[in-house]
Structure 1
Amino acid sequence: MARVTEQAPKSAEPARWVVGITGASGAIYGITLCRQLLAAGFHLHLVITDAGWRVLKEELGWDAARRVECLNTAFDSALSENRMTYHPLNDIGASIASGSFRCAGMVIIPCSMGSLSAIANGASTNLLTRAADVMLKEGRPLLLVPRETPLHAIHLENMLKLARLGVRMIPAMPAFYNGPQSIEDIVSFLVGKVMDSMGIEHNLYKRWGQSNG
């Protein structure tokens, strides 16, 4: 008779998310999501494209020449305290480039049409698109927050192609039924919708039918 050995129970999915920020307008969406994930206790693996750094400079006043300092300032020393890992865009040998690296999934927020096109066509030309390709091949959650207007047929076809592969499309389209009073409220709504799709609890916006109490 074959010997039956006990197997150790499977461990829970690592509390790690990969976040990508690209050169689309709306860098504040990505920064806000990162802050929320860190506050919720997740370890964050962050990759930012060169165009993403340019947008951070233009929209939020970040100094792209002092990247580590900017990240530590924005995220309360999470980088130096090892609560967050920053991966340079060209580090194709980084942990997140391998399917053996376990994580809960990846969000690209905001996602430019260029990055979206590369992912849709399997062009792993940098660490961000390679990490997204890993999510697809490993069957892990991949969420994209495209930010562009107007959209032409190629944009739409690329989104449809990815959606049919199970990629979650969450375009940066804020709602107004919750009565936003500030830009922060608008940003919080969109980030909250992203976290809903990630399955993470939050209180970033008032839901439809939710009382004020």
Structure 2
Amino acid sequence: MTDGSKRLVVALGGASGAIYAVRFLRQAVKHYDEIYVTMSRNAAAVLLTEMNIRMSEPPQASDLVGFDAPQIRFCRPGDFFTPPASGSFRHAGMVVIPCSMGTAGRIANGISDDLTTRAADVCLKEGRKLILVVRETPWNLIHLRNLTQLAEAGATILPAVPAFYHQPTTIEDLVDTVVARVLQNLGVEQGLMREWQAEE
């Protein structure tokens, strides 16, 4: 029986910022043997609109990451009988990337109406790592209260806010600073972004 350390759950939300998910998955396949991917109803439309990525039916890993990645296993958004929906399925953590405020709100209030929210709820009740890469701005009071409630429940709130101290020159450089932070929060060594060191 595996201890789950080489398994990861990734949910693509319907918020703008599909590039964060694509860049993250390209890195994640280097570190995990099994990656269970689910997509919200709007995620496929966002991928097409923002990145000209058209998902096949059934979806293929190469659609998302641009190459064959047998580690990626797609789960249908309404399938509550798939492994990530069960508390007995052990894994290293779950990343919702990008995460809309609607998804964050449902998770915060225990509304498990699809696989993303159910799998996230399982993470919280089992004390597993849950990272929400929230992207919308500005935040209203309801958003802030939902995010506070999630943080109190044990989730990591990781806004898609890039860093600039490494002098990025491309959009990919900016995106990768966020991807690097996600990997760091999962305990994965990454080479996308150097750690800040003050000049001596």
Class of the TM-score when normalised by the shorter of the 2 chains:
over 0.9
For normalisation by structure 2, the TM-score amounts to 0.93
Distance apart, 1:191 and its partner CA: 0.4
Deviations 1:44-71 (A, max 9, x none): 11011011111111111122454524x3
Equivalents in 2 of 1:199, 1:210: separation in Å?
Answer: 23
Rg comparison, structure with higher value: 1
Equivalents in 1 of 2:3, 2:168: separation in Å?
Answer: 37
Structure 1 segments, 4+ long, off by >6 Å, are none
Contact 2:55-2:64 at 8 Å conserved across structures: no
1:61 to 52, 56, 62: 52
2:31 to 40, 47, 70: 40
Percent identical among aligned pairs is 41
Equivalents in 1 of 2:63, 2:103: separation in Å?
Answer: 27
Contact 2:54-2:63 at 8 Å conserved across structures: no
Equivalents in 1 of 2:64, 2:117: separation in Å?
Answer: 24
Matched, 1:77 2:65: no
Contact 2:55-2:63 at 8 Å conserved across structures: no
2:19 counterpart residue number: 28
Q: How many residues align?
A: 198
Matched, 1:129 2:120: no
1:106 counterpart residue number: 94
2:153 counterpart residue number: 165
Judging changes above 3 Å, is the alpha-carbon distance between structure 1 residues 210 and 43 closer, same or farther for their aligned structure 2 residues? Answer: farther
For normalisation by structure 1, the TM-score amounts to 0.87
Instruction: State which drifts further: 165-174 or 10-19.
Output: 10-19
Judging changes above 3 Å, is the alpha-carbon distance between structure 1 residues 11 and 55 closer, same or farther for their aligned structure 2 residues? Answer: closer
Equivalents in 2 of 1:23, 1:132: separation in Å?
Answer: 16
Structure 1 gaps, min length 5:
1-9
Matched, 1:196 2:198: no
Structure 2 gaps, min length 5:
none
